[in-house]
Structure 1
Amino acid sequence: MKLMFEEQLLSQPANPDSSLVQHYVRTSATCSLIGNVTTRMALLDTGTQQFPVSITEGNEPDDNCYVVSPQTAYSGYAREELKRLGRPWLTWPLKLLTRGVDCMLRTAKVDKLVQVNNWLLATNLYPTEWSLAELPAITSLLHRTFPDHGFGFRSLNDFSNRELRQCLETLGYLSIPSRQVYLFDGRAGAQAPFLKHHNTRLDATLLRRSPYKVVPGTALIEADFQRIEHLYNLLYLNKYCTLNPHYSAKWIQRGQHEGWLEVRALVSPEGRIDGALGWFTNSAEISTPIVGYDTALPQQVGLYRQLTRLCLQEAVERRKVLNFSSGAAKFKRLRGGQPQIEYSLIHVAHLSWGRRLVWTVLSRLLHGIGVPMIKKLKL
């Protein structure tokens, strides 16, 4: 079992036969392709699996993206979400709470953190063929290598990762709830339950009658990827939150070229890309880190509905589980999305008493207040 830092990987000649993980870590290390992510990258090779690893020191920019920064995830992003809550009776007390949490997290240096299997995506997928018997050795290696960092794993939910979460808790990792995601189980193929929902069937009809042509990423040129970046920004940064990852056209294009991202575009009869998505997959699951469409077009065009239907069809055809991330909760529930609380599992037992205390308080606050509120409000 070994950990290879980005300097070591870059000192070796590029090899076209390298694994997807090696390609990804090299890509992340050679140039800044995600505008608001500041981190070092490494590769963890267990002998049977390879994982990208992010390493932050806690002195990165204040707006460092939540995919590497718990400070942003549990404070900055929470403040942005409160602006959209639309419930004044909740907003003011929660604002005060998030300010207190922000100060507490900063004092505890929560961003001094190492995260395993961090693809710098909103949702990281875990290999089903991974032997969890390797976890004690991974924990020991990280403890030795990073004695002053917290370390752990993001994007765990009890539908997909219950055994992994339980093993990590047994090893002393602390459970930190993060958000509610929506899963669509396509393992039954054409018999998948979500296909029977009224809204899902309406979306299928819309896509079938649509004038748009579905074009694979292999047929796109550089200018098309620039258009896809623009569409992603319109949705995720302009409409939702500027703290979301700022994926560049180069990042999307390299993902398509190197094989860790599969792009699809909705092309109008005039040849214009009006919607696009990018899938990240493993042997059991699909996630969609890239979704974007022209938000200026009339809602009746139903671009988001068409993109959603493409995702559901892909899950059914591949007989996999679609992790459709968080957001648009009502929309996803109406199409059969099943809610699951997502967690990070963080090891802090080796840190100072004060830093451990803050992580423990955060865990209890989110389990005691955050999770019940997320479920009650169906976020």
Structure 2
Amino acid sequence: MKLLFEDQLLNQPTHPEDSIAHRYVRACAEGALIANVCTRMALLDTGAQQFPVSITEGIEPGDNCYVVSPQTAYSGYAREELKRLGKPWLTWPLKLMTQGVDRLLSAAKVDKLVQVNNWLLSTNLYPADWSVSDLPAITELLRRTFPDHGFGFRSLNDFSNQELRQHLETLGYLSIPSRQVYLFDGRAGAQAPFLKHHNTRLDATLLRRSPYEVVPGTALSDADYQRIEHLYNLLYLDKYCTLNPHYSAQWMQRGQHEGWLELRALRSPEGRIDGALGWFANSTVISTPIVGYDTSMPQRAGLYRLLTHLCLQETVERRQVLNFSSGAAEFKRLRGAQPQIEYSMIHVAHLSMGRRLVWTMLSRLLHGIGVPMMRKLKL
């Protein structure tokens, strides 16, 4: 079992048999493909599996993306949401509380963190055949290599990763809830329960009657990738939050070429791409880190509905589970999605008492207050 750092990978020749994880870490090392992600990358080689690893020092820019920064995930997002409310008389007490949490997390150096299997996506996927017997050796390697860093794993839920999460708990990892995600179980293929939902059927009809051509990633031009980056930005950065990952056209194009991303686009009869999505998948689960559409078009065009149904069709054809991330909760529930709480598992037992205390407090607060709120409010 070993770690290969960026400089080591760049000094090695490429081979056709390199794993997708190897190609991905090398791609990240060769250029800034995600504008607001500041991290070093490494490759963890267990002998049977290879995983990308992100390494942050806690001295990166304050707006570092949440895919590598717990501080952004747990305080930066709260600040952004308060700004969007636009009601200072209502939000100033919450703003003061958020500032206090931010200072506490900063003092505890929560961003001094190593994250295994971090593909710099909102949702990381874990191989179904990954043996939990590797975990003690991985834990020891990380503790020895990074004695002053916390380390752990993002994007775990009990539907897909219960055994992995439970085993990490037995090894002393803290469970940190992060958000509620929505899953569509397509393992029954054409008999998948979500296909019977009224809204799903309406979306299927909309797609059948749509004038759009569904274009595979292999047929996209350089200009198409630039357009898809723009559409992603319209939705995820302009409409939602600037703290979401700033994926570049180059990142998408390289992902399509190297096999760690699979794109589809909706091209109008006039030749214009109005919507697009990108799948990231393994043998059991599919996720969609890239979704974008022209938000200036009227809602009756149903672009988000069309893209969603393309995802559901792909899930059924693959007989896999779609992890459709968080957000648009009611929309997803109406189409048969099942909620699951997502967790990070973080090892901090080797750190100072003060830093351990803050991580422990964060875990207890989120389990005691955050999770019940997410479930009650159906976030």
- The residue type equivalent to 1:310 in the other structure is L
Q: 1:229 to 1:49 in 2, by over 3 A?
A: same
What is the deviation of 1:331? 0.6
AA aligned to 1:108 is A
Greater Cα shift, 152-161 or 364-373:
364-373
Aligned to 1:117: 117
Q: Shift in Å at residue 83 of structure 1? A: 4.6
State the alpha-carbon separation in 2 of the partners of residues 92 and 299 from structure 1. Answer: 34
Deviation readout 1:50-78 (Å, 9 max, x if unpaired): 00000000000000000000010000012
| Structure-2 residue corresponding to 1:193 | 193
Tell me the secondary structure at the aligned position of residue 297 of structure 2. Answer: coil
Q: Which residue of 1 is the match for residue 268 of structure 2?
A: 268
Q: Distance in 2 between matches of 1:192 and 1:45?
A: 36
CA distance in 1, matches of 2:206, 2:316: 18
Instruction: State the one-letter code of the partner of 2:104.
Output: M
TM-score normalised by length of structure 2: 0.98
Distance between the aligned counterparts of 2:285 and 2:94, measured in 1?
Answer: 34
Partner residue, 2:208: 208
Measured at CA, do residues 157 and 86 of structure 1 come closer, stay the same or move farther in structure 2, by a change above 3 Å?
Answer: farther
Structure 2 counterpart of 1:79, one-letter code: R
Letter in 2 for 1:233: N
How far has the Cα of 1:84 moved from its partner?
5.2
Question: Superposition pairs for residues 137-176 of structure 1, below 5 Å?
Answer: 137-176=137-176
1:244 corresponds to:
244
Question: 2:128 corresponds to which letter in structure 1?
Answer: T
* Cα offset, 1:93, TM superposition: 4.8
Aligned pairs (5 A) from 1:56-135: 56-83=56-83, 91=91, 93-135=93-135
CA distance in 2, matches of 1:83, 1:328: 20
Q: SS of 2:129's equivalent?
A: coil
Output aligned runs, 1:263-302, within 5 Å. 263-302=263-302
Deviation at 1:369, TM superposition (A): 1.0
Deviation of 1:14 after TM superposition, in Å, equals 2.1
Measure the CA separation in 2 of the matches of 1:85 and 1:145.
Answer: 43
> Which amino acid in 2 is paired with 1:318?
R
Q: 1 CA distance for matches of 2:259 and 2:90?
A: 44
Structure 1: segments with no counterpart, 5+ residues = none
Residues 336, 120 of structure 1: alpha-carbon distance in 2 compared, 3 angstrom cutoff: same
Deviation for aligned residue 1:151: 0.1
Instruction: Please state how far the C-alpha of 1:18 moved relative to its aligned partner.
Output: 1.0
Q: For the residues of structure 2 that align with 1:182 and 1:344, how far apart are their CA atoms? A: 16
TM-score norm. by structure 1 comes to 0.98
Q: Distance in 2 between matches of 1:117 and 1:348?
A: 18
SS in 2 for 1:236: helix
Question: What 5-or-longer segments of structure 2 have no aligned partner?
Answer: none
Alpha-carbon shift at residue 87 of structure 1 (Å): 10
Report the AA paired with residue 333 of structure 1: R
Q: Distance in 1 between matches of 2:199 and 2:180?
A: 21
Q: Which residue of 2 aligns with 1:230?
A: 230
Deviation (angstroms), 1:80: 1.9
Q: Residues of 2 paired with 1:144 and 1:222: CA distance?
A: 44
Letter in 2 for 1:192: A
Counterparts of 2:235 and 2:14, CA distance in 1: 35
Partners of 2:375 and 2:139 lie apart in 1 by 32
* Alignment-mate amino acid for residue 176 of structure 2: I
SS in 1 for 2:160: helix
Which letter maps to 2:21? V
2:15 match: 15
Aligned equivalents of 1:63, 1:188: Cα separation in 2:
42
**Equivalent-residue separation in structure 2 for 1:190 and 1:85 (angstroms):** 42
What is the CA distance between 1:97 and its match in structure 2? 3.0
Number of aligned residue pairs:
379
SS in 2 for 1:159: coil
Structure 2: distance between partners of 1:352 and 1:303: 50
Query: Partners of 1:168 and 1:26 in 2: how far apart?
Result: 28
1: CA distance, partners of 2:90 / 2:219: 48
| Distance in 2 of aligned mates of 1:320 and 1:193 | 13
- SS of 1:251's equivalent in the other structure is helix
- SS of the residue corresponding to residue 176 of structure 2 reads strand
Describe the SS at the equivalent of 2:344.
strand
SS class of match (1:278): strand
